Copies of this chain bind each other. A is one copy, B any other.
Amino acid sequence: MALEVKALPFTFVAHALAIAGAILVLVWCIHFRGGLAWEASNKNLIFNIHPVLMLIGFIIIGGEAIMSYKSLPLKKQEKKLVHLVLHAVALILGIIGIYTAFKYHNESGIANLYSLHSWLGIVIIVLYGIQWIYGFLVFFFPGGSTTVRSESLPWHVVFGVFVYILAVANAALGLLEKLTFLENSGLAKYGSEALLVNFTAVVAILYGAFVMLTVIGQGPPAEDDYSYTAI
């Protein structure tokens, strides 16, 4: 999109929002919800890993992966490597985060995969994996022909943006779903924890918006025939 503004300043706002979001989700899960544990008799501590990994691991690192390709002052091959490694980290942490939700459900006797959040989560992680594998094969190794690359690139961006927007929206869905459960169990609707969780979702949405502004802003001058900056 031909927004004639530089992408770089948007990334600084996004980084600040990323730090804020990470702090908020950690304060929520550790201070308000009792902490994180892989094995525990209090199964809620297992659940707590889920929002932490999904927000910090999947959404934030995934967003940094998207922005890295547009904003880092590196050669294209180096930016590609950073881009694909960060996305791989986000994907792996996302998969572990989803696993913890199943683990919590299974150990607590709660049904799996009935909610919109869970359905979308599965769809998103599968699409994210497909996008990563396609990107790796076509743009990195072994690499497609120049025609395949240049014709794929706009779709790589559009599909990636689509999956990422879905991921941010699904984070908001998850935070709202968990908070609704807690409020139905007696948590104060206007209490400090409720406000904190809602603000975490707002920060995640703002972060996603600034990641998207980075995608449509102007990157550094293009080095060769295909680049984000050409879009």
Q: Which residues does A use to contact B, with CB under 8 Å?
A: 1-4, 111, 114-117, 119-120, 154-155, 157-158, 162, 165-166, 168-169, 172-173, 175-177, 179-181, 183-184, 189-190, 194, 198, 201-202, 205, 209, 212-213, 216, 230-231
Contact = CB atoms under 8 A, between A and B. Distances in A.
Contacts of A181: 180, 184
A183 B111 CA distance: 12
A191 to B, nearest CB: 9
Nearest to A189: B114
Contacts of A117: 176
Given A1-B231, A177-B177, 8 more contacts: A2-B231, A3-B155, A111-B190, A162-B209, A162-B212, A169-B205, A180-B181, A181-B184
Contacts of A169: 165, 168-169, 172, 205
B158 A1 contact: yes
A181 to B, nearest CB: 7
Contacts of A231: 1-2
Nearest to A213: B158
A198 B115 contact: yes
Given A180-B180, A231-B1, A166 B205 contact: yes
Contacts of A180: 115, 177, 180-181, 184
Contacts of A209: 162
A176 B177 contact: yes
A173 to B, nearest CB: 5
Contacts of A230: 2
A168 B173 CA distance: 12
B3 A176 contact: no
Contacts of A155: 3
A119 B202 contact: yes
Contacts of A212: 162
A231 B2 CA distance: 6
Contacts of A176: 115-117, 173, 176-177
A114 B190 contact: yes
Contacts of A184: 180-181, 184
A116 B177 contact: no
